[in-house]
């Protein structure tokens, strides 16, 4: 079972904090991979807040293809960041790990954000399609103020490999997953966290209802609902579909993935709408076992579980810094000086929502709405 480590903070933090937290939960992951997703970037990216960052792993050929493609499509390169790689035994080094900041094409500069988001997603998909056959190019995210790093190996070693301790790379929200490779071959696109248009999630456990959920999402007409090298990628797309496409408030994500019984719904003030949702979005119902942690474009972080709480999770911290982890030892590592009596162990009806900037944490209870 994978281990999840998310930290949201009002101050910039190093992703190493997440990796150290993962290390405390090491019994739960087998060191087969690390996925890092950073939002609200500081350090070298602090001056490029409004410009999209493209995170990729590629060969030299893949890099040339990438540059050609971006140039052709009118994106102007503004800044490139690459980790200073330190060779670590057991980790196979690829030719290029990079995050490039671009300026939008002229025709898009004054377009509303929603259109820009669609453009960025379509570019990411086109690059993915281009690089997928020969695996010369992997693109994980292309969005303002978001950076992704993924590689196969032990998280702590990968931190050393990427030189994260000294890189100056920092962000206010960091998601990290220590991978337990079970059912699927190690493949970079199968590594969490997953991203689409400002939404990111990572999950542990298996998604037993993966196939019907995938088929339903693929029928929604959104080209971004693709990939699915991991059965957990659907969780990212469901939150995107619920919150962005349908426009429902974030907490309805819980009602979509774990709909309640009719008798329970009847007690909610929004019962009429919930009854319809339960039927119309029936294929998106999950059965777990899963704990989902993620963020939304505005910097809200959340944790939610399947309806039987078959995977645990813990949230703890203080105003200005909260950790959302698979296990409480991870929270202890990330925010040791918190009041532990306020730790939250969300139960089956709960959705933990941490406001942007780690201002406050709320437990939204599905029974009460």
Residues that bind other proteins (CB under 8 A): 1, 182-183, 205-206, 208-212, 215-216, 218-221, 245-249, 251-252, 258-259, 261-262, 269-270, 272-274, 276-277, 279-283, 285, 287-289, 307-308, 310, 369
Residue with smaller CB distance to other proteins, 71 or 267: 267
Please identify, using beta-carbon distances, which residue of 88 and 310 lies nearer to other proteins: 310
- Cβ–Cβ under 8 Å, residues 48 and 79: yes
Starting at the edge strand found earlier in the chain, the sheet holding 361-365 runs 194-196, 199-204, 291-295, 301-305, 350-354, 361-365
State the nearest-atom distance from the C-beta of 329 to other proteins, in Å. Answer: 22
Contact 320, 358 (CB under 8 A): yes
Q: How far is the CB of 312 from other proteins (least distance, A)?
A: 12
341, 329 in Cβ contact below 8 A? Answer: no
User: Across the beta sheet with 137-144, what order do the strands follow?
Assistant: 76-81, 96-103, 52-58, 137-144
What does the block give as tokens for 238? 């469901």
- Nearer to other proteins among residue 115 and residue 215 (C-beta): 215
What is the rounded CA–CA span in Å between residue 295 and residue 192? 13
The Cβ of residue 105 has, within 10 Å, a number of other Cβ atoms equal to 16
Residue 203's SS3 state is strand
Q: Which is nearer to other proteins, 61 or 220 (CB)?
A: 220
Provide the minimum distance between the beta carbon of 135 and other proteins in the complex, in angstroms, as a whole number.
Answer: 25
Based on CB atoms, which residue is closest to other proteins, 43 or 369? 369
Report the residue number, 50 or 280, with the smaller CB distance to other proteins: 280
Burial label, 247 (beta-carbon count in 10 A; 0-12, 13-18, 19+): exposed
In whole angstroms, the minimum distance from the beta carbon of 85 to other proteins comes to 32
Provide the minimum distance between the beta carbon of 186 and other proteins in the complex, in angstroms, as a whole number: 15
Alpha helices by DSSP H, 85-147: 113-131
* Least separation in angstroms between CB 206 and other proteins: 4
């Amino acid at each position: 079972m994978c281990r999840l480590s998310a930290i949201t903070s009002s101050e910039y933090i190093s992703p190493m904090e997440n990796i150290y937290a993962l290390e405390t939960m090491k019994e739960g992951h087998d060191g087969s991979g690390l996925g890092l997703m950073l939002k609200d970037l500081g350090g070298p990216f602090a001056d490029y807040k409004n410009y999209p960052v493209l995170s990729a792993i590629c060969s030299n050929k893949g890099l040339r293809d990438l540059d050609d493609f971006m140039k052709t499509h009118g994106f102007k390169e503004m800044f490139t960041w690459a980790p200073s790689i330190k060779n670590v035994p057991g980790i196979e080094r690829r030719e290029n790990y990079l995050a490039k900041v671009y300026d939008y094409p002229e025709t898009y500069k004054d377009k509303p954000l929603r259109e820009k988001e669609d453009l960025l997603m379509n570019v990411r998909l086109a690059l993915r399609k281009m690089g997928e056959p020969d695996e010369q190019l992997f693109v994980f995210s292309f969005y303002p103020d978001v950076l992704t790093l993924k590689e196969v190996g032990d998280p702590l070693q990968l931190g050393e490999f990427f030189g994260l301790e000294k890189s100056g790379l920092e962000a206010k929200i960091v998601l990290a997953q220590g991978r337990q490779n079970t059912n699927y071959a190690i493949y970079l696109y199968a590594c969490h966290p997953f991203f689409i248009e400002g939404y990111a999630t990572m999950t542990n456990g298996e998604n037993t209802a993966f196939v019907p959920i995938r088929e339903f999402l693929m029928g929604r007409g959104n080209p971004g609902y693709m990939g699915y090298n991991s059965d957990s990628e659907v969780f990212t797309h469901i939150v995107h579909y619920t919150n962005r496409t349908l426009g429902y408030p974030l907490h309805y994500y819980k009602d979509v993935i774990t709909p309640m019984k009719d008798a329970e719904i009847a007690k909610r003030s929004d019962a009429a709408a919930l009854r319809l949702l339960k039927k119309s979005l029936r294929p998106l119902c999950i059965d777990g076992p899963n704990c989902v942690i993620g963020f939304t474009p505005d910097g809200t972080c959340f944790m939610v579980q399947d309806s039987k709480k078959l995977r645990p999770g813990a949230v703890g911290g203080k105003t200005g810094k909260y950790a959302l982890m698979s296990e409480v030892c991870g929270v202890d590592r990330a925010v040791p000086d918190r009041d532990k009596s306020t730790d939250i162990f969300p139960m089956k009806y709960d959705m933990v929502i941490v406001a942007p900037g780690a201002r406050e944490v709320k437990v939204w209870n599905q029974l009460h709405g």
